[in-house]
Amino acid sequence: MHGGISFLPTFMQYNVPMRLRLLALTLILSACTAAPITATSTPARLEAVVVADTPTPTLIPSPTTTPTVDKWIFPYTIAGFRKHNFQSGKVTVLETLEKTDVYTRYRISYPSDGLTITGVLQIPVEGREPFPVIVMNHGFFSRGEYHSGDGTDRAAEFLNRRGYLTVSSDYRSWGGSDEGPSLFYSGLAIDVVNLIRALPSIPQADPSRVGMWGHSMGGGVTMKVLMLGAPVRAAVLYSTVSADNADLVARWGMGCIGDIAEGETRYGCNSSDVLPESLPQGLISAYEFSALDADLNQAVSPYYHLDLVQVPVQIHYGTADGVDYAGTPPEWSKKLYQGLVDADRPAEIFAYDGEKHSFFADEWFAFMERAAMFFDVYVRDVP
């Protein structure tokens, strides 16, 4: 299970001054056009053990960010993203995939800003309709190997047994979904928000009781969604990527530009972002420039806007995560937790000794039991 990347970074190998000069020249020659959900009340503060914060990586400061760059990047900043005009619709059941004594699994599709996105819906066999809902956000998989439900199916069944309806988006460019651009997880978060907005079209779902679960890259998507005041009541993060884009760039490099499949085999780029060459050159150049600019990194990163989080957040991490390059260092979870505490947001954190990016055996069950109890309090049992 990847943390949203492909291979080793070459970020520190760039000739930064020359690269910035080339980007500046490209931006001068490029045209400058840019186009450009109600939250629940904040629950009471949770009790948790405070862990030490970790410092933000030092970025190479740019001289003066040009208005052209600001204009291109603004829709992908937190401030700009909150103004996005979401275009959703209804969930369509495409086929029944499996029936068990616990759940019935369906392959679904739904519209998201003009794209058709696929995913998986699992409805509990037992319990009273309409069911509370957990939206499941999967982590990174190679798109050629990914199948709908990968990364969320085991946790979904656990929650189905507890009486939750679960639904997961494949996101754009994964599974049977259409391809579409995604910068700083924005496209993936758009797809998740549009899935939430489509929940009223599922008769068995209670759209007033919704929680969110995210693993790895899916944790990053979850944090992006929480910036929008989306109608979720609680969020669980499992081995999450950093909520600070500077950390992602420092570890894995900026997003891959061009062919998606080729990008997944390329050193030094983060293939969770999708930047087709058909995008305006001005936007591509601004995206590259922003990876080296401290102010723009902060503008697109949830970490610097945690005051916008309006629901309790529960974080789980393994102390041995990050040893493998595709993993997510424990410091990222600790940093996010401390940021939430500093922002006076309700949060709690749990460490699992010796566990890596995906938990196993008793530790996985302990994690999911805590997550389910958290959802019981803040999602299932609310009036």
DSSP state of 307: G
List the domain range (segments joined by +) for residue 45: 11-380
pLDDT confidence band for 269 (50 / 70 / 90)? confident
How would you class 247 by CB atoms within 10 Å of its CB: exposed for 0-12, middle for 13-18, buried for 19 or more?
buried
Identify whether 301 is part of a domain. Answer: yes
Segment 214-256, tens digit of pLDDT: 999 999 999 999 998 767 999 999 999 999 999 999 999 999 8
CB 269 within 8 A of CB 263: yes
Quick one: CA torsion of 221, 154, 146, 140, rounded to 10 degrees? Answer: 30
CB 248 within 8 A of CB 241: yes
> According to the model, what pLDDT value does residue 72 have?
95
165-169/313-318 β-pairing? unpaired
The single residue listed with the structure tokens 């369906």 is: 106
Average pLDDT for 40-45: 42
Average pLDDT for 296-317: 97
Identify whether 2 is part of a domain. Answer: no
Identify whether 3 is part of a domain. Answer: no
Identify whether 112 is part of a domain. Answer: yes
CB 252 within 8 A of CB 329: no
Handedness of CA 374, 212, 97, 104 (dihedral sign): positive
What are the backbone dihedrals phi and psi of residue 2, each rounded to the nearest 5 degrees, phi first? -90, 160
Average pLDDT for 22-37: 41
Percentage with pLDDT > 90 across the chain: 75
Sheet with strand 92-99: strands edge to edge = 92-99, 103-112, 115-124, 165-169, 131-137, 205-215, 234-238, 313-318, 347-352
Sequence-distant (≥ 6) Cβ neighbours of residue 154 within 8 angstroms: none
Give the chain's largest Cα–Cα span.
63
Identify whether 325 is part of a domain. Answer: yes
The single residue listed with the structure tokens 């000739």 is: 15
Segment 96-149, tens digit of pLDDT: 999 999 999 999 999 999 999 999 999 999 999 999 999 999 999 999 999 999
Query: At how many degrees (to 10) do helices 186-198 and 217-226 cross?
Result: 70
The single residue listed with the structure tokens 């061009």 is: 258
Identify whether 65 is part of a domain. Answer: yes
Q: What is the total count of domains within the chain? A: 1
CATH number, domain containing residue 185? 3.40.50.1820
Angstrom distance (rounded) from CA 1 to CA 215:
9
Angstrom distance (rounded) from CA 3 to CA 153:
18
Segment 3-16, tens digit of pLDDT: 544 333 333 333 34
pTM of the predicted protein model: 0.83
CB 105 within 8 A of CB 121: yes
Average pLDDT for 307-314: 97
CB 316 within 8 A of CB 239: yes
Identify whether 283 is part of a domain. Answer: yes
The yes-or-no verdict on residue 201 having pLDDT over 90 is yes
Identify whether 4 is part of a domain. Answer: no
CB 294 within 8 A of CB 61: yes
> According to the model, what pLDDT value does residue 228 have?
87
The mean pLDDT of the chain is: 86
Strand, coil or helix: 225: helix
Percentage with pLDDT > 70 across the chain: 82
> According to the model, what pLDDT value does residue 64 have?
53
pLDDT confidence band for 291 (50 / 70 / 90)? confident
